[in-house]
Copies of this chain bind each other. A is one copy, B any other.
Amino acid sequence: LPFGWLALSSALSIHTIVGLPEIVPGADVAQLLVDRLRTLPQSLLDNDIVVIAQKIVSKSEGRLRNLSDAIPGERAYELAQRTGKDPRLVQIVLDESTEVIRAAPGVLITRHRLGLVMANAGVDRSNVPQSTNTGTNSSERVLLLPLDPDASAAALRQRLCAAFELQSLGVIVSDSFGRPWRLGVTNVAIGVSGMPALIDRRGQPDRDGRRLEMTEIAWADAVAAAAGLAMGEAAESTPAVRVRGLNWTCGGGSAQDLLRSRQQDLFR
């Protein structure tokens, strides 16, 4: 039996952190997480990674805009026609973007000012609480990405490290992204703190002593994707997850590490 246990030696466990309230602008997400975690033995340990959905970060930071406040320009009207999207929404997407990558019916992919290539620059109409004091549609609100998700992750990390007296904690802010050649979305890391984002194994020999060819690992993206599985598991989607059991060394990774530069883009 002891030998048997060795056959499943490396265990990774992913838990959702349930019971968070609806997050409103100004909410202290760090304290809410600390409160939820404190009720537990071994609530947070060194080498754990906390993954939180972009939405609750953006909501707490008040990154909301009213569609009715957007004044579409000529480019927004043109792209709205090509995509079939609301020109006001398109204007807000353009305000968040540095470049339009692809516009087609139902599809608007841009490079966000953070460098992220994604649909609608991350501007999200779903799961955004609407103002309730008007009866009109004109006040519909949309949610933008955090101003600086790496900084949001770092701030949360600092609070969690202080509360639980940790040295080595990773924090990821994640969002769901589509992929050019594959259908469906997976979660990726748009903010990273305290942990590596990209692990470079190029130049390390394989088991036969040859140099490995393609071995930059999108580690933070894989952790985000794994956390995304757990986030989707709860009856109602859960925006915070604890990942335990990974073996890593504290480091200064950034979500920027995961971005291909325009020069490295596989399509240019």
Contact = CB atoms under 8 A, between A and B. Distances in A.
Interface in A91-122: 102, 107, 109, 117, 119
A8 B40 contact: yes
B11 A15 contact: yes
Interface in A173-197: 176, 178-188
A266 to B, nearest CB: 4
A7 interface: yes
A162 interface: no
Given A5-B40, A102-B266, A225-B221, A230 B184 contact: no
Count of this chain's copies in the oligomeric assembly: 2
A106 to B, nearest CB: 9
A180 B266 contact: yes
Interface stretch (A63-71, A73-81, A148-156, A256-264): A256-264
A180 B260 contact: yes
Nearest to A140: B210
Interface string A215-250: 111110111011011101110101000100111000
Closest 4 CB pairs of A and B: A184-B218, A4-B39, A226-B226, A225-B225
B14 A225 contact: no
A183 B264 contact: yes
A16 interface: yes
A222 to B, nearest CB: 5
Contacts of A246: 229, 233
Nearest to A102: B266
Contacts of A8: 15-18, 40, 242
Contact of A217 (B12, B117, B232): B232
Given A127-B208, A225-B225, A214 B266 contact: no
Contact of A9 (B109, B184, B198, B234): B234
A165 interface: no
A185 B214 contact: yes
Contact of A258 (B36, B107, B128, B183): B183
Contact of A229 (B12, B19, B207): B12
Contacts of A257: 183
B102 A184 contact: no
A40 B259 contact: no
Contact of A18 (B9, B183, B221): B9
A41 B2 CA distance: 11
